[in-house]
Structure 1
């Protein structure tokens, strides 16, 4: 006997079955499409934005993240459970399509059947295992949401509908299969029944009911199962089920520009307002993001502000914007989200990196800050206003005299560009390495390392201005562009071929953000530059064993994916790294980003103290970083955590200089 089964067994295959079945299916699909088109009106409340270019790359991004569940699987546990559930449910969906294709098309019109023989056996096994995986994973997600319930996980009516419908669809599907097998395969073809192991188990449990009862159970549940599926389709646009489409689409609409780069505002045009205060100030993609959110709270779990008891949850910000878009389009977004929440953000990008829906949080926060600063003249504190004033007058937020910016380099093997522009690289020093005593030591280390490798280094000295990044992230786009324009004109005026900087914030700004303003000079972070010198044998080191833990700066790690080079340098110096639990792409911010280096931390506990405690928890006595902001924060955080004498902050450049072989 050939391995196969009668499709629509016990249901019939005439017009009385097919007509209502397809009528309800098309009505449900029509409702889905109609309701989906209505949601387009919500997205159209936002400004235009082109997210359709490079379609090949966008389609590849969509396929990778949907079918491989790449972003979902970044988190173990619930991520794996969701991934396995998706694959299981998808296989069941494909199986259903194949059944309908044969029964209602190829066999009905052409007498052609493909669900038989060895293929049918594999088909049956695949569907049974997929269904089992889906049930088990859904049960695990149910336990997590309703029994274990991690802190901060919000549960709503939508979640109950989703779990209830999906469980009902899966369970009724298995019972229908078991009832059919109890009548047909269990007594007549037990070898074939073995290819449906879950159905076989249910069939054995139901076998004692007798054929009439089994047929009645099968037929009744078949229609119940069918209408549950119809209900599922109809519920998609009105519940979190819509993320099936919106999250997938969000992969297609992802920003393909430089990672983390902000939109550069036209400050010289005739715009009447800047930044975001109302729904009309958002783009359609900003509003679309709110529909893609599944409230999984991954962003919230990794937010350093939220984890230090500040009033910021990236998840809530997105959902608050969505509520305004759907229920109160005239509401003020800043008041809805709250100013304290917006000022708390460090722009560390942890929320965006981990988001399984590819939602873009940081730009929305900065745009609302822009409105507060540029339109209302508001800052999170007087100290920030003073730093802005200092930058406008002296070119740095510390209030130091512009003429003294290059004083730290006196007596060092470095040239000032105004005196001699014949150099291999321009070292863009940054404000803290120019004026802060602790960070001046790091700048000095870099100069000595370059000299040892035979690299001629130049600096701008008093001609260098703050890169403008802290001001920009705080919302002062005007001041940022003023600083940027002066720096760009100066650097290009000297015909510089390469810029190297030890500050991740300067690096990210010059390498990406300045491009919109006409800057095209190659820019590298000093860890990449020094690592190349080591690999080429130009910088010779004597490895001396030491233990340390390493902090991935947000603007080197998440913004630029530079994880290998700093670790390679530590290894070349003889270091063994004891990684913190939050490291690499999941590194915990030092608290200085987003312009917070200029602001007092008045709400919650101090982020730098939390990070210092994480470092001390590794048992290493040395905390290594590669960012002047981080160094400044760790100096304070170690004191605040009362870890002086137990944990010493060091920069990679300092460690390399100590092991330099002359």
Structure 2
């Protein structure tokens, strides 16, 4: 007698009465309508902002769409920016992978069901496809449950940087219920359906659960299956309906923000005088001054706290939480729509919060969905600066920048005083130079930084580099002015420097200050010519590679502090290490994930409370490596790390990478 053929398939609505199927679709439509209504309510909030050219973005050529689609694939589906944070990352990746596979599986099952209604030949949920389908969903369902369980455990520990709402437990409970009841539905189906062989074991978890229900009669198992199926379905409908009203909204806003955001580390959007004359607006003083993508990004925030964990101002006890800035603006967006808005400045965001930022971009790179707290703070600073709210030592430095051409207030005639006794050529006397050395204000006027400048000069002269400096014709790039919100002072300085650079036909620039480097690389092309800009550590390493300088062995232990605007913003972190040689005692926070010294964003020119110094936190990390020398690649970092090391009572020496190399070469 022939054995019965194993049926590698199952009914989509097996054991479900027609009336229940109708009710299922009615409730499905209802949940989708609630979902759409909720998203529409949020969309109306985003519409309060300045319009963005959505049509232009979507209908642009593929070259313009490619990076946006790439972010969706790599950072959205690939979870690139989620990974690398221990338990939280593993939990999210497992939950996300499980959710996406279960969602895809449910969608394919419904497509098969509807296709079979048209014609049985369109039915594809059978055979080896069915085996792979069932096995994959069983495995990914487990990942989903494990991920949710890890999140439950994490929330029970209540980490301080993580946002907490009562609805979070509802969402986690709902997710866990969906995962568990899904397996129970499968197990009970197996009890009454009695599949055998591969048809049974292609669902290993369901088959295992079926053994627990093995004593049930067919009638009992069918009744239990129908009841659990309804519980499972109601949970799924509840999930869809809840998305726009809970953190689950980031399922929509997260990918949308990844697509519509414009990554711009180290860059700010310029403001024109004409636009200000037309609108009377500089920066942001009310929610309507933000654009629609920025308002969308407020809803993309999950309050995961990564930005707070990465923020040096937050770590040092300053009154700044990037997460709170985003959430406070989100609250203002909601109350503004209701006509109950408080003042943005003062009531919603305090002045101390705005000025506490070091503009290190750590919060920007930490966010999994590219929410940009730094960009929001820059816009708030612009408004405050335009209103004359910048005061104290920072305001004095800006005045000196405008009147003297540098924040120290020294006469321009003294810009070349550091070169006394060195044969440093001026661009005006040596017009056939190949590279212009932009010394910068710190390198020209700060007494400690002048020693670095002299070391670089000696190295360039020894290597026979055909270079020149501008001397008294060099003005501050205006980087600090722009980061402090004084856009038009920056533009005034940039215009003057552009004219000087054009006069000398400059195409390639060497800098020793990462802030000057960033400004010349990212800011200046917005107003004129684009230059090839190289940091002195890169240039010196190239001289060694070309055989123009030797690379003697290093003596003594050394650690290296990566400047934010060099490593994180502009991606330069290997050249300084190559110059220092092998065996560097590395700090935990390094390269693109470096920790700020505290001087960026104009904080160099502000007074600080002794117990809120970012430099002390970074100095402690450097000292803990046990290194005798702390090397840096930025004049601001040189100042801050020197102060920080002294405050810690350490005898470690702080020096620039160029000083270290010059010393080893006996220069």
Shorter-chain TM-score: which interval? over 0.9
Distance of 1:126 and 1:607 partners within structure 2:
49
1:91-490 equivalence runs, <5 A: 91-106=101-116, 109-146=119-156, 148-185=157-194, 189=196, 191-256=198-263, 258-267=264-273, 269=275, 270=277, 271-328=279-336, 330-335=341-346, 336-375=348-387, 377-379=388-390, 381-490=391-500
Is 1:659 matched with 2:664? yes
Distance of 2:21 and 2:225 partners within structure 1:
17
Runs of at least 4 residues of structure 1 off by over 4 A? none
Contact 2:8 2:128 in 1 (8 A): no
Residue 191 of structure 1: how far off its partner (Å): 4.8
Residue 486 of structure 1: how far off its partner (Å): 1.1
Cα separation, partners in 2 of 1:398 and 1:17, compared to 1, 3 Å? same
Residue 604 of structure 1: how far off its partner (Å): 4.6
- Does 339-348 or 579-588 show the bigger shift? 579-588
Give the one of 39, 42, 48 matched to 1:39. Answer: 42
Report what 1:71 is aligned to. 81
1:493-517 deviation per Cα after TM superposition (whole angstroms, max 9, x unaligned): 1111211101000000011101111
Give the one of 571, 576, 589 matched to 2:596. Answer: 589
Distance of 1:149 and 1:35 partners within structure 2:
29
Q: Could you state the TM-score of these two structures normalised by the residue count of structure 2?
A: 0.94
Distance of 1:85 and 1:416 partners within structure 2:
62
Residue 332 of structure 1: how far off its partner (Å): 2.2
Contact 2:49 2:290 in 1 (8 A): yes
Is 1:540 matched with 2:540? no
Distance of 1:316 and 1:47 partners within structure 2:
23
Residue 213 of structure 1: how far off its partner (Å): 2.1
Cα separation, partners in 2 of 1:604 and 1:3, compared to 1, 3 Å? farther
Report what 1:612 is aligned to. 619
Distance of 1:365 and 1:418 partners within structure 2:
41
Contact 1:366 1:473 in 2 (8 A): yes
- Does 79-88 or 47-56 show the bigger shift? 47-56
Contact 2:15 2:222 in 1 (8 A): no
SS of 2:567's partner is coil
Residue 29 of structure 1: how far off its partner (Å): 2.0
Report what 1:638 is aligned to. 645
Cα separation, partners in 2 of 1:162 and 1:175, compared to 1, 3 Å? same
Residue 231 of structure 1: how far off its partner (Å): 1.1
- Does 301-310 or 3-12 show the bigger shift? 3-12
1:577-628 deviation per Cα after TM superposition (whole angstroms, max 9, x unaligned): 1211111222110000000000011375211011000001111121111000
Distance of 2:283 and 2:117 partners within structure 1:
60
Contact 2:305 2:323 in 1 (8 A): yes
- Does 17-26 or 502-511 show the bigger shift? 17-26
Distance of 2:79 and 2:227 partners within structure 1:
36
Q: CA RMSD in A?
A: 1.9
SS of 1:458's partner is strand
Q: Could you state the TM-score of these two structures normalised by the residue count of structure 1?
A: 0.94
Consecutive unaligned residues of structure 1, counting only runs of 5 or more, are: none
SS of 2:564's partner is coil
SS of 2:654's partner is strand
1:266-308 deviation per Cα after TM superposition (whole angstroms, max 9, x unaligned): 1355142311111121111111110000000000011001001
SS of 2:136's partner is helix
Contact 2:163 2:303 in 1 (8 A): yes
Contact 1:278 1:331 in 2 (8 A): no
Report what 1:525 is aligned to. 535
Distance of 1:267 and 1:229 partners within structure 2:
53
Report what 2:15 is aligned to. 11
Distance of 1:150 and 1:34 partners within structure 2:
33
Residue 95 of structure 1: how far off its partner (Å): 1.4
Distance of 2:386 and 2:13 partners within structure 1:
70
1:86-120 deviation per Cα after TM superposition (whole angstroms, max 9, x unaligned): 11111111111222222332366224433333332
1:430-453 deviation per Cα after TM superposition (whole angstroms, max 9, x unaligned): 111101121111111111111222
Contact 2:6 2:196 in 1 (8 A): no
Contact 2:631 2:656 in 1 (8 A): yes
Distance of 1:6 and 1:346 partners within structure 2:
60
Cα separation, partners in 2 of 1:497 and 1:10, compared to 1, 3 Å? closer
